[in-house]
A and B are shown apart, each in its own frame.
Chain A
Amino acid sequence: MTPAKKVIGEIVFGLLSPEKIRKMSATRIITPDTYDEDGFPIEMGLMDTRLGVIEPGLRCKTCGQRVRDCPGHFGHIELAMPVIHVGFAKTIYGILKATCRACGNLLLNQKEIEKFRKAYEEVVRRGENTSNFAKEVIKQASKASKCPYCGKEKLPIEYDKPTTFREAGHKMTPSEVREWLEKVSEALGDDLKLLDINPKVARPEWMVLTVLPVPPVTTRPSITLETGERSEDDLTHKLVDIIRINQRLQENRDAGAPQLIVEDLWELLQYHVTTYFDNQTSGIPPARHRSGRALKTLAQRLKGKEGRFRSNLSGKRVNFSARTVISPDPNISINEVGVPIDVARELTVPIKVTPHNLEEMKELVKRGPNPKPPAGVKYIPGVNYVIRPDGRRVKVTEENANVVADRLEPGAIVERQLQDGDIVLFNRQPSLHRMSMMAHKVRVLPYKTFRLNLAVCPPYNADFDGDEMNLHVLQSEEARAEAEILMKVQEHILSPRFGGAIIGAIHDHITGCFLLTYKDKKFKKDDAIRMLSAAGYRGKVEDEMSGKDIFSKILPEGINLEYKAKACVGCEKCLKEKCPYDAYVVIKDSKLITGVIDEKSIGAFKGEIIEYITRKFGNEKAREFIDRVTKLGIAAIMIIGFTTGIDDEDIPEEAQLQIKEELEKAKRKIQQLIKAYNEGELEQIPGRSLEETLEMEIMRVTGRARDRTGEIASKHLGMDNSAVIMARSGARGSMLNLSQMAGCVGQQAVRGERIHRGYRNRTLPHFKKGDLGAEAKGFVSSSYKKGLSPTEYFFHSMGGREGLVDTAVRTSRSGYMQRRLVNALENIKLEEDGTVRTTTGEIVQFTYGEDGVDPMRSIRGKAIDVDLVLREVEHGK
């Protein structure tokens, strides 16, 4: 049925010989005009229909096919005089330097040549760089002053960029160069390899062009503007220029015009051909469009990020994809993605019709492209296209649905619209790691956004401030199987970067679980039922339950864990189970005995419980747990109630006074330091100047002051404070943020130093010249809540701006680093024999990572969890 797959085995590069150019040419091009008055392509013009067609309706004269099927054919221009190919000018220079003008031999004696031949074999055998070797040969050969074979004197060769060669000051014409090169390829034969040229595919004289291939029209299509005007491609423009000058050159030469005029035209032809290849050649002005825009010629088409290679070949546009804004949906599983009905109707999955599913497919096709769902159902899939066994694609409409369905036969393909359970790829740029593209199961939902579970935000690095994401529908059975087994979200709960969980609860999930399990909170039966049913628990519920009991219900059986929670403050002596902060977590036989559940237990990047479940019970169970724990967290936070506002940062008056005093103290201290400095009594830190010492000391004092005010403020902010709960549980924010809001913002810094630039000897005109005090150098003693004074606000903006610039620079720098890393390492894989090799077979490591362990399966880097092994053996498992 499907034709045998064609495989490209290898690609060989080489130069086109003039004969070959003529041979592959469909026609010679002679007229610079493109279309006649009727808008038909002129024969032997640049748009000749033998070069392929771009207008619908016309047939190609070479292959007889229509627009989409005709691949296009080359033509050629016979150049009146030869010109040098810019790309090879340097190579030509090398050859001219190293060879004799009279006999074409290398300017080396037999012995030297023999030595170089041997050395060449060695270089090839070692797989080293032959270009560097050639440079060596040229260097050696150009030392000679006389040809060792014919005795002709060697004149010095100069090279003027981009395409001029001089022999002892005399300018050589391309014809002369070509003659010389012909002699060289004759004399050297196989020895051309010493100059890093393969004579089988690239004879040096071909580097001077006598015939120019004209690319098919399909590669340079003209566009018809709305006004009916034709706009030609840049390449066509350039080719027109070349033909014009070529014609004039020919005419002038044939008419026997003065040498000067011929030479000028020749030069001009060289210029046009040069810019036709590369319009950014250094040394000559780029050819411009009438509007003044530089033309985009051959080299520009290939080069760079928007060039053919990176933009069209390494990255390809695809069908069966969708993109829209994302929004959260806590009610779907992490494995799922909510797809809007509008999108689902557009995207399709191909289903092959077989005798087994024929009837079923007929029913499906009968529905048409926009079926009306039965009562109580929001959406049923329809069919957009049917591909008949002969390959014809039939659009299914409401009108022809029944007819198409009746004609359906095995071998046809039905393109069914998305339905729940279809597997799709979901992606958010920038795709920095493999978790940026994961497989989800479709849930067709109303409204216009993609919906995703909050727990998968960390791997995608997504939030909902307008982020958009892409979705791709898989089109083959093989692809779907691979996606299902390798790419599903649950397969990526553990990150290969460090072997820990990367998917887990965030924000409110953590706050919810924290509130639920903190100390011994009790819940009434109906509250407990509400929470547990939301979390998907089905089973008995006791009359009055503690939060810890409720949480225990959703833990899978057989969990034994002991660790310190995020809330741990790091007491001098850990009281373990008796921790006054309830920060020592003990789970015994899946029962939470002590400790509070917070970021360290269930959070993304940290979640101990998630890691444990994934390793012990597998991905499926882990997914289930994440789904449940996030729902439980949300149910809990809803029942307990949670809010935060500016009054969370209220602190009593006495504390404010204390803070003020602390700040005064710091300022006094700074004044003392300055005084000491002015009087030369400041003790210098070795290796630092006096000024630097002073700055360091002051920075220390201001830092200390901020900490102290933070301490004072947080003394009055207890665990009944919502903001504190969020910070302590790791849900959002930090105590530092809080102390900046309630206490004081602290020293603003640019480049790690106090702010010192601005006006002469002062930062702002508000201060005295030479003032080294706290306020004058960017210390913000107000809190965010209190509000900043104008000068403070200004300094704060300076610090903030630095942060922004930093981020902007960082993204581009790290992006480039990653591109290089990926490019260097993309070919490396682990082989069956345990060695790590490149795809060309070079060994990089004999054992991956010295122990062969997959970082994703490691226990945070360790090969195996010895403690776990011992514990399990101890408990007689």
Chain B
Amino acid sequence: MASKATINALIKKGLSKKLAEKVAEYYTLTQLKKVSYEELEEKIGKDAKKVFEKLGRKIEGKEKKEEGKKEKRKGKRRKKEEKEERKIKERTVKDEILKILKERKEYLPPIVVDELAEKIESKKLHNKLRIIVEKAIEEYNKHLMEPFEACGMVAAQSIGEPGTQMTMRTFHYAGVAEINVTLGLPRLIEIVDARKDPSTPMMTVYLEGVYRVNKEKAKEIANKIEVTRLINIAEIETDISNMKVIVKPNLKAMERKDIDMNDLIKAVKKLSKVEIKEGKEKIEILPKDENYRELRRVSEEVKNLKIKGIDGIKRAIIRKEGNEYVIYTEGSNFEKVLELEGVDKTRTITNDIHAIYNVLGIEAARNAIINEAYETLQEQGLNVDIRHIMLVADLMTSDGTIRPIGRQGISGEKASVIARAAFEITVDHLLRAARKGEKDELKGVAENVIVGQPIKLGTGSVELAIDVKKLGKVKK
């Protein structure tokens, strides 16, 4: 059964209920953003066009054939020119807005400024620009959060509350039907736990240059990435009577994987404690110690012998997305993949947050947490403001490392003994506090609740008193 959340999300996009249900049967929202038109059409028929329109995606291929190539190029150029022209105009409007902001010493988020510029330009409201900007500033200032708001608590509740509505089902098909990815609540827990290894690591490898548009070239990279074991390209037999393992290479498979005999032999020679006999169409491997246990060990080792590829990547699948080829992988090895030639280092991503931290640094890890958590929630059709997720991600990364939410992380590093003791592993915290002579300064929420004092958040941050003398004056 299709997930209700996906259906709802699709309907929100403007699809009819019927169509949404049908589409949701095959894809989730995130998948839909990536699936090719042809594939969709094959599955749901003519309605595919509608789906693409609603999702704001362009249909490739089909229309391409219908239109003359030249005309298209021309149209494209014209469009490009127009676009550029508009951009320049928008630029001037934007500068104007920024000038007003500077003058008035006010601030508007860049995204708002851009939107204002674009819409003022398209609606030709230049003469009212000043009033518009002033109105926007007024609106913006009205929408700011008030000081002392317990925004952390609100964020925690906003992420935690929809948890009850999420699916538990661990596996779902994402992006590519062939790859399983953990989604829903388990994935969200994985993210806030900052687990070292995600249960289903996955990468999306974008390519650059010729690799991007040439399928053969893309395939080349995919072959380089994917781990190929001997069992994938050869038949392996264990001959018990003669105490040997026979490898019969499958030339077709080898060609497909772009491996030649030399590679194969080189790899086999790395095996230890064996004797190798190269034949015409087969390789015989004899264990040096002639006993069955050795034979079995060798046989297993031979089967799993890595010929080619990057460790950790079990599978690589090429897809056409728009007009470029993209490789999806099951398993992840961010560092090694980025080293390959032809891989677009600016766009390639993994869902392994720690890998991103190690390779690209803490800011990238923070963004990765935000993106992963946000997409997980979105995919479930749950609407959570991104600011809440940002706060969680910022807290997790605020000391320059990724700290999990929980006793090994943020909760365990709290300054207050009482707050830590109240969370988990009570006795240990108390004993340690006694040994170290720790001081609890009662600054946080939990400890003040425990001792029965007002907390220092929200209305507890301020104190109000009436100046009676002045009150008298007012009365008069």
Q: Contact residues of A with B, CB < 8 Å?
A: 7-15, 87-88, 91, 129-131, 196-198, 200-202, 278, 299, 302-304, 307, 309-310, 313-314, 432-434, 482, 486, 496-500, 564, 568-572, 685-688, 696, 700, 703-704, 707, 710-711, 714, 734-736, 746-747, 749, 751-752, 806, 809-811, 813-815, 817-818, 820-832, 836, 838-840, 842-845, 848-855, 857-858, 860-861, 863-867, 869-870, 872-874
**For the complex, would chain B's binding face be called helix, strand, loop or mixed by DSSP majority?**
helix
Known: A13-B417, A828-B152, A845-B394. A685 touches B144 (CB 8 A): no
Q: Chain B residues with Cβ under 8 A from A838's Cβ?
A: 444
A312 to chain B, nearest CB (A): 9
Q: Chain B residues with Cβ under 8 A from A866's Cβ?
A: 112, 115-116, 119, 136
A sample of 13 inter-chain contacts (CB < 8 A) reads A13-B438, A87-B431, A201-B437, A314-B422, A687-B315, A711-B18, A814-B166, A818-B163, A821-B159, A824-B395, A852-B145, A853-B140, A853-B387
Interchain CB contact under 8 A, B21 and A821: no
Interchain CB contact under 8 A, A196 and B435: yes
- Quick one: which of B131, B157, B445 contacts A432, CB cutoff 8 A? B157
- Quick one: which of B119, B145, B178, B459 contacts A688, CB cutoff 8 A? B178
Q: Chain A residues with Cβ under 8 A from B390's Cβ?
A: 845, 849-850
Interchain CB contact under 8 A, A570 and B109: no
- Quick one: which of A13, A309, A870 contacts B450, CB cutoff 8 A? A309
Interchain CB contact under 8 A, A824 and B440: no
Minimum CB distance partner of A868 in chain B: B139
Task: Confirm or deny: B359 has a beta carbon within 8 angstroms of a beta carbon on chain A.
Answer: no
Contact pattern, B 166-209, Cβ under 8 Å of A = 1, otherwise 0: 11110110000111000001101100100000000000000000
Interchain CB contact under 8 A, B385 and A855: yes
Task: Confirm or deny: B92 has a beta carbon within 8 angstroms of a beta carbon on chain A.
Answer: no
Q: Chain A residues with Cβ under 8 A from B271's Cβ?
A: none
Q: Chain B residues with Cβ under 8 A from A853's Cβ?
A: 109, 140, 143-145, 387
Interchain CB contact under 8 A, A864 and B112: yes
- Docked complex Cα distance between A734 and B405 (Å): 38
- Docked complex Cα distance between A313 and B177 (Å): 51
Task: Confirm or deny: B468 has a beta carbon within 8 angstroms of a beta carbon on chain A.
Answer: no
Task: Confirm or deny: B261 has a beta carbon within 8 angstroms of a beta carbon on chain A.
Answer: no
Minimum CB distance partner of B315 in chain A: A687
Interchain CB contact under 8 A, B417 and A735: no
A751-B169, A873-B128 given; name 7 further pairs at CB < 8 Å.
A91-B435, A825-B392, A832-B148, A853-B145, A853-B387, A855-B388, A869-B136
Contact pattern, B 441-462, Cβ under 8 Å of A = 1, otherwise 0: 1111110011101001111010
Interchain CB contact under 8 A, A497 and B178: no
Minimum CB distance partner of B461 in chain A: A829
Please tell me the number of chain B residues within 8 Å of chain A, measured between CB atoms. 129
Interchain CB contact under 8 A, B427 and A303: yes
Interchain CB contact under 8 A, A848 and B136: no
Stretch in contact with the other chain, from B9-17, B230-238, B278-286:
B9-17
Known: A314-B450, A814-B185. A870 touches B125 (CB 8 A): yes
- Quick one: which of B20, B164, B171 contacts A752, CB cutoff 8 A? B171
Q: Chain B residues with Cβ under 8 A from A198's Cβ?
A: 435-437
Contact pattern, B 385-427, Cβ under 8 Å of A = 1, otherwise 0: 1111011101100100000011001110111011101110011
Known: A10-B440, A202-B434, A853-B145. A824 touches B156 (CB 8 A): yes
Interchain CB contact under 8 A, A826 and B446: yes
Interchain CB contact under 8 A, B178 and A686: yes
Task: Confirm or deny: B1 has a beta carbon within 8 angstroms of a beta carbon on chain A.
Answer: yes
Task: Confirm or deny: B83 has a beta carbon within 8 angstroms of a beta carbon on chain A.
Answer: no
Minimum CB distance partner of B153 in chain A: A826
Interchain CB contact under 8 A, A806 and B152: no
Q: Chain B residues with Cβ under 8 A from A874's Cβ?
A: 123, 125, 128
Interchain CB contact under 8 A, B157 and A752: no
Which 10 A-B residue pairs are closest in the complex by CB-CB distance?
Answer: A828-B152, A818-B160, A849-B387, A814-B163, A198-B437, A825-B152, A201-B437, A854-B145, A855-B385, A569-B16
Minimum CB distance partner of B136 in chain A: A869
Known: A12-B439, A570-B16, A810-B164. A873 touches B459 (CB 8 A): no
- Quick one: which of A749, A806, A825 contacts B156, CB cutoff 8 A? A825
Interchain CB contact under 8 A, A201 and B177: no
- Quick one: which of A130, A486, A822 contacts B160, CB cutoff 8 A? A822
Q: Chain B residues with Cβ under 8 A from A569's Cβ?
A: 16-18
Interchain CB contact under 8 A, A826 and B421: no
Minimum CB distance partner of B422 in chain A: A309
B277 to chain A, nearest CB (A): 33
Q: Chain A residues with Cβ under 8 A from B157's Cβ?
A: 432-434, 497, 818, 822
A458 to chain B, nearest CB (A): 12
Interchain CB contact under 8 A, B140 and A864: yes
- Docked complex Cα distance between A752 and B456 (Å): 48
Interchain CB contact under 8 A, B385 and A858: yes
Minimum CB distance partner of A430 in chain B: B164
Known: A817-B192, A857-B143, A870-B125. A824 touches B406 (CB 8 A): yes
- Docked complex Cα distance between A434 and B155 (Å): 11
Q: Chain A residues with Cβ under 8 A from B413's Cβ?
A: 129
A55 to chain B, nearest CB (A): 28
Minimum CB distance partner of A708 in chain B: B22
Task: Confirm or deny: B430 has a beta carbon within 8 angstroms of a beta carbon on chain A.
Answer: yes
- Docked complex Cα distance between A11 and B448 (Å): 11
Q: Chain A residues with Cβ under 8 A from B210's Cβ?
A: none
Task: Confirm or deny: B111 has a beta carbon within 8 angstroms of a beta carbon on chain A.
Answer: yes
Interchain CB contact under 8 A, A824 and B409: yes
Q: Chain B residues with Cβ under 8 A from A433's Cβ?
A: 157-158, 160-161
Task: Confirm or deny: B100 has a beta carbon within 8 angstroms of a beta carbon on chain A.
Answer: no
B471 to chain A, nearest CB (A): 17
Interchain CB contact under 8 A, B450 and A313: yes
- Docked complex Cα distance between A874 and B431 (Å): 68
- Docked complex Cα distance between A11 and B163 (Å): 37
Interchain CB contact under 8 A, A130 and B395: no
Minimum CB distance partner of A315 in chain B: B449
Residue among A752, A828, A848 with max Cβ neighbours from chain B (10 Å): A828
Q: Chain B residues with Cβ under 8 A from A814's Cβ?
A: 160, 163-164, 166, 185
Minimum CB distance partner of B111 in chain A: A863
Known: A7-B453, A823-B423, A836-B151. A870 touches B120 (CB 8 A): yes
Known: A433-B157, A746-B1. A829 touches B149 (CB 8 A): yes
- Docked complex Cα distance between A825 and B160 (Å): 12
Interchain CB contact under 8 A, A873 and B14: no
Task: Confirm or deny: B383 has a beta carbon within 8 angstroms of a beta carbon on chain A.
Answer: yes
- Docked complex Cα distance between A747 and B441 (Å): 60
Residue among A129, A736, A809, A831 with max Cβ neighbours from chain B (10 Å): A736
Interchain CB contact under 8 A, A844 and B439: no
Q: Chain A residues with Cβ under 8 A from B388's Cβ?
A: 497, 849, 855
Interchain CB contact under 8 A, A869 and B147: no
Interchain CB contact under 8 A, A88 and B144: no
B217 to chain A, nearest CB (A): 19
- Docked complex Cα distance between A796 and B430 (Å): 52
A17 to chain B, nearest CB (A): 12
Residue among B151, B426, B435, B451 with max Cβ neighbours from chain A (10 Å): B435
Minimum CB distance partner of A485 in chain B: B459
Task: Confirm or deny: B311 has a beta carbon within 8 angstroms of a beta carbon on chain A.
Answer: no
Interchain CB contact under 8 A, A872 and B436: no
Interchain CB contact under 8 A, B383 and A500: yes
Interchain CB contact under 8 A, B459 and A309: no
Interchain CB contact under 8 A, B178 and A687: yes
Known: A817-B192, A830-B151, A861-B386. A496 touches B156 (CB 8 A): no
Task: Confirm or deny: B61 has a beta carbon within 8 angstroms of a beta carbon on chain A.
Answer: no
B162 to chain A, nearest CB (A): 7
Contact pattern, B 105-127, Cβ under 8 Å of A = 1, otherwise 0: 00011011001100110010100
Task: Confirm or deny: B19 has a beta carbon within 8 angstroms of a beta carbon on chain A.
Answer: yes
B368 to chain A, nearest CB (A): 16
B177 to chain A, nearest CB (A): 7
B458 to chain A, nearest CB (A): 7
Interchain CB contact under 8 A, A848 and B145: yes
B341 to chain A, nearest CB (A): 25
- Quick one: which of A12, A482, A845, A857 contacts B142, CB cutoff 8 A? A857
